[in-house]
Structure 1
Amino acid sequence: MKYTALAAAIFTISITSNIASAAGLDRTGQPINAFLQDGNYVEVGFNALSPNVDGNDNGGRTVGNMADNYYFPTAAIKVQATDHLSVGILYDQPYGADATYGLNGSDFSSETLGQGTQVKVRTHNITTLIGYQPTKNWNLYAGPVWQTVEADISLRGAAYGPLSGYNIKVDQKEAWGWAAGFAYQIPEIALKAALTYRSEIDHHAKASESMSIVSPISMDVPLSIDGVTATTPQSVNFDFQTGVSKNTLAFANVRWVHWDQFVVSPKFLKSYKQDLISYYDDQWSLNVGLGHKFSDQWSGSVSAGWDSGAGNPVTTLGPTNGYWSVGLGGQYSPTKHMFIQGGVKYFGLGDATAQTGGAPKGKFEGNHAIGYGLKVGYKF
C-alpha cells in the first residue's frame, strides 16, 4: 500500500500537538516539521493560549487568575534546491511569559503602589537549516539560529519582602546558536523519523533595574543599569510517524529541554540573594496521536500529551508544573498544493507551589488552559 499522498495530507496535522507548552518558559516546542516537507513549501500560522491559573497565598487569600492570554505567529519556507540539497528558514517565538496579578489584597499585589506583580517575556527565533539528502531516505541538516530575548517585569506585594516595588526591563539583543539533526523516511509506508538537537544560546543584554516607591509621591528610583546574563536551554526533539492502516497514521513527539540549573540573577536582586527566574529539573514531554484522511480534501487528528514540568516549587512568574493534554485537529485541502489547518487543545495544568527567595509563598492548584492554532500551507 502506498502512503505518500496520505503522509502529505496528515503529517502537518501533528503540528497541532505543539500549540503550546507549559514547562519553564517553553511555548512552541520548536518543531521543524515544515523543513521535512517534500519539495518546495511555505506556511504561516497563528496560535493562541487562554490559561486560567489561580491559587492562594500563604495567608489563604485568593490570588485570582494571574495568567494572561497570549498569541504568537509562526512561519516557515523550505526550498528543494536540487535533488540532494534543501534550504529552510523557520520563525517562531519559543520562550515567553505573560502574567498580571490582580490588585486583590494577596501577597502578590501592593495596595500602596496600586499594582500587582506583572510579567512580560518575549523571544524571537529564526532557524536556518541546510539539508543534504544522499538518498531519498536520508536527510542530514544543520544551520545557525538567531534569537532575541526581552523582558519587562515588576514585583509587587509581601511575597517579595523588601523587594516589593522592584522593576527590571531587559532590552532586546540578538544572540546566536545552532541546530543539527537527521531524518529518515520510507514514503511507501508513510514512515518518517527525525532527531533534532538545538544548542543553548547565551544572552548578554542591557538591564535597567529600579524601585517604585510612594514617598510622598509615586516615583521610580534607579538601582542599576548593568548587563544581565541568561542562557536559553539546549533541547532535543524526536518526531516519528508511520502508517498503521489504510488512510490512517500514528505520530509521536518526544522533547527534552535542559532547564536544570537555569537561573537569571540581575545585579540588584543578586545582592539580596534572590533570583528573578530559576528552574531545577529538566523538562520531558510526550505527544502522541492518530491522523485519518477522510477524503482528498478532509483530514483529522486526535492527540494526547504529557509534560513533566521544570521542577516544583516554581517561580511566582509562572506557577504551574507541567500538564496533561488532549487535542483535536482538522485540515481542509482545497487543492493538492494547499491546505488550511486548525486545532484546539485542552491542558490540565500541574499543581505548583510558588516561591521567592527559596521560601514558599502560595499554592496554585486545579488550573487549566485552552490552546488554538490556525495554519495555511502551500506547496510550490
Structure 2
Amino acid sequence: MKLKTLTWAILLIGVPTTGAFAAAMDRSGQSIGAFLQPNNYFEAGLSVLDADVSGNMRDGWNMPSNDTAKSGADISNSHLGDMAESFHFANFALKYQVNENVSMGLIYDQPFGAKAAYSANDQKHQVSPTFSPVLGGDDVLNTGAFHNDGEGTSVEVNTQSLSFIMGYQPNENWNIYAGPVYQTVKGDVSLRGSVYGPFGGIMCSDKIGTVFCSTFKDKDTGQPIKGYDASIPEESEFGYLAGVAFQIPEIALKASLTYRSEIDYKVDVNERMPQPNSVFIESGVPEFSRDYVYTSGKTEITTPQSVNLDFQSGIMENTLAFVNVRWVDWSKFSIRPHKFGQLASGLTQAVAGTPRGFDLIAYDKDQISATFGVARKLNDKFALSLLGGWDSGAGNPTSTLGPTEGYWSAGLGGQYSPTPATFIQAGARYFWMGDAQAQSASWFGTERYDADFKDNTAIGYSLKIGYKF
C-alpha cells in the first residue's frame, strides 16, 4: 500500500500539547520529532497549561514535629483551595540536511518545571489558650496547614535546554544521531504553615524543647520568620543524547528510540533558616540553640535520565496512527539543600533517634507515560488529529509541592497549511488527574500524609508554526 500522499505536514499533527502536564516536574516531553523531519525544517511553538488542583486536609492528620497538643485537629477535613499556578513553556527547532548522509539540528525546550502556590485564605488554626504561642502575640492564630501570617507555601522551578544534534543516515531507512545537551536550572521554594513544622514557621512538640505551639523570630533582629526559603540561582551544565531512527517512507512508517542522560549540578543555594530565639536554648536540637551557626556548602541536584520511544505508521490512505512512550528516572531524584539538611538531621535525631534527615523534594517511583492517537489529512490545506494520553505518576503519597498522581487525557489538534512549505497548528488537551495523598517532606518513605487531592483537572493549549525549506 503506497501512502506517500501522507505528506510531511500531517506527520507533525500528533505533536500539540503532548507532555503538558506530566509526573513530578516533567513538562515538555523532550521530543526529537523535529530533527527527524525530511530536508530542511524549522518550527516554533508555545504551550499553556491551566490546572485546578484543590483538596482537603486529612482527618486526623498530625503535625510533623510530634504535636502532642494535637493543635492541628481543628483543621482536619478543612478545604484547601486551588494551589496550581498556570504556566507556559516554549520550544523551537531547526534541522538542516547537510547532504544525503549527514544532518544537523538544534532543539530548544523547557523540559522540567514546577509552579504552585497555596492560598493564605485556607482555614487557620484555632489554638486553645493552653497552647498559646510563647514567641509573641497571636501569630499561631494566623497559621494554617500551608500558610503562615498571610504567606502561602509556593514553588517555582524553571529549566531551559539546548540540544545540539548530529545525524548520520547510511541510507534512506536509518538515522543514527547524538549530541551534547546544554541545560540550565533555577528555582525558588518557600515553605509556610504547620504541615512543615519548624520549616513552615510553626512548631508544636514536647520532644524538641517546648510543649507550646510556637512561631519563630530571628535570633538577632527579633523579627518574625514565616518559614524556610530557598533560592536556587541559575546554573548550567552539559549532558548528552543519543538515538536511532528507522523509517519506510512508502508506508509512512517511522520509529525512533532516544536516550537523554541525567545532568548533575552543584549549586550554592541561598537559604533562609527558621532559627528561633533563646526560648529554645535548652532544646535537644542543636540547630535551635542561640549559638548554632549553619555551615555552608554545595547542594547536589540531578535532573533525571529519560528514554523516548516514538512510532507512527500509515493505516489507510491519508490516515496515520502514532504513539509515544516515555520513561523518566524520577525514583533517583531528590533535592536536599545544604542547610535544610542540617536542620532535618537534627530534627530526626531528636524525634526518632536517627540523624537520617529528609529531602526537600523526592519521588519514589519512575514515570512512564504514553501519548497515542490518529491523524487524518482532509485535503491539501487541512488536517485533524485525535489523541489520548496516560501517565503513571511518580509515586503516591506525593509531595505537597505537586499533589497529583498521573493522569488520563484526551485532545484534539488541527493544522492549516497555507502553502506546501508552511503550516499553523493548534491543539487543546484535557487532563483528568489522578487522586493523590499529599505528604510533607519529613514523612517521605512512610505511609503518613497530610491531605487528599481528588477529582482535579487541567486543560492545555498549544500553538505551533512550521516551515520547510
1:110 aligned residue (147, 154, 158): 147
The aligned counterpart of 1:22 is: 22
1:61 aligned residue (57, 67, 78): 78
Q: Distance in 2 between matches of 1:275 and 1:61?
A: 27
Within a 5 Å distance, the mapping from 1:1-380 to structure 2 comes to 1-16=1-16, 18-58=18-58, 59-103=76-120, 104-105=122-123, 107-112=144-149, 114-164=150-200, 165-211=227-273, 226-271=297-342, 272=344, 273-356=357-440, 357-358=442-443, 359-380=448-469
Cα distance change of structure 1 residues 110 and 21 upon mapping to structure 2, 3 Å threshold: closer
Q: Distance in 1 between matches of 2:256 and 2:148?
A: 52
Cα distance change of structure 1 residues 61 and 139 upon mapping to structure 2, 3 Å threshold: same
Q: Distance in 2 between matches of 1:22 and 1:100?
A: 18
Q: Which secondary structure state, in structure 2, belongs to the residue aligned with residue 329 of structure 1?
A: strand
Q: Distance in 2 between matches of 1:191 and 1:262?
A: 35
Unaligned stretches of 5+ in structure 1? 216-221
The aligned counterpart of 2:212 is: none
Q: Which secondary structure state, in structure 1, belongs to the residue aligned with residue 79 of structure 2?
A: coil
Q: Deviations for 1:177-202, whole angstroms, at most 9, x for unmatched residues?
A: 10000101111100000000001111
The aligned counterpart of 2:223 is: none
- The total of aligned residue pairs comes to 373
Q: CA deviation at 1:3?
A: 2.5
The aligned counterpart of 1:218 is: none
Which structure shows the bigger proportion of residues in strand conformation?
1
TM superposition score normalised by structure 2: 0.77
- For structure 1, which segment, 167-176 or 97-106, has the greater mean C-alpha deviation from structure 2 after superposition? 97-106
Q: Which secondary structure state, in structure 2, belongs to the residue aligned with residue 148 of structure 1?
A: strand
Cα distance change of structure 1 residues 372 and 162 upon mapping to structure 2, 3 Å threshold: same
Q: Distance in 2 between matches of 1:250 and 1:71?
A: 28
Give the partner amino acid of 1:316: T
Q: CA deviation at 1:56?
A: 1.0
Q: Which secondary structure state, in structure 2, belongs to the residue aligned with residue 8 of structure 1?
A: coil
Q: Distance in 1 between matches of 2:152 and 2:249?
A: 54
Q: Which secondary structure state, in structure 2, belongs to the residue aligned with residue 6 of structure 1?
A: coil
Q: CA deviation at 1:227?
A: 1.9
Q: Deviations for 1:99-145, whole angstroms, at most 9, x for unmatched residues?
A: 01000236443342x10101100000111110000001100000001
| Structure with bigger gyration radius | 2
Give the partner amino acid of 2:248: I
TM superposition score normalised by structure 1: 0.95
- For structure 1, which segment, 98-107 or 88-97, has the greater mean C-alpha deviation from structure 2 after superposition? 98-107
* C-alpha contact 1:105 1:111 (8 A) present in aligned 2: no
Cα distance change of structure 1 residues 147 and 135 upon mapping to structure 2, 3 Å threshold: same
Q: Distance in 1 between matches of 2:111 and 2:419?
A: 31
Cα distance change of structure 1 residues 90 and 80 upon mapping to structure 2, 3 Å threshold: same
Percent of matched pairs sharing the same residue: 49
Q: CA deviation at 1:45?
A: 0.3
Unaligned stretches of 5+ in structure 2? 59-75, 125-143, 201-226, 278-292, 345-356
Q: Which secondary structure state, in structure 2, belongs to the residue aligned with residue 16 of structure 1?
A: coil
* C-alpha contact 2:308 2:325 (8 A) present in aligned 1: yes
Q: Which secondary structure state, in structure 1, belongs to the residue aligned with residue 404 of structure 2?
A: coil
Q: Deviations for 1:328-374, whole angstroms, at most 9, x for unmatched residues?
A: 00000000100000000000011111111114111111101000010
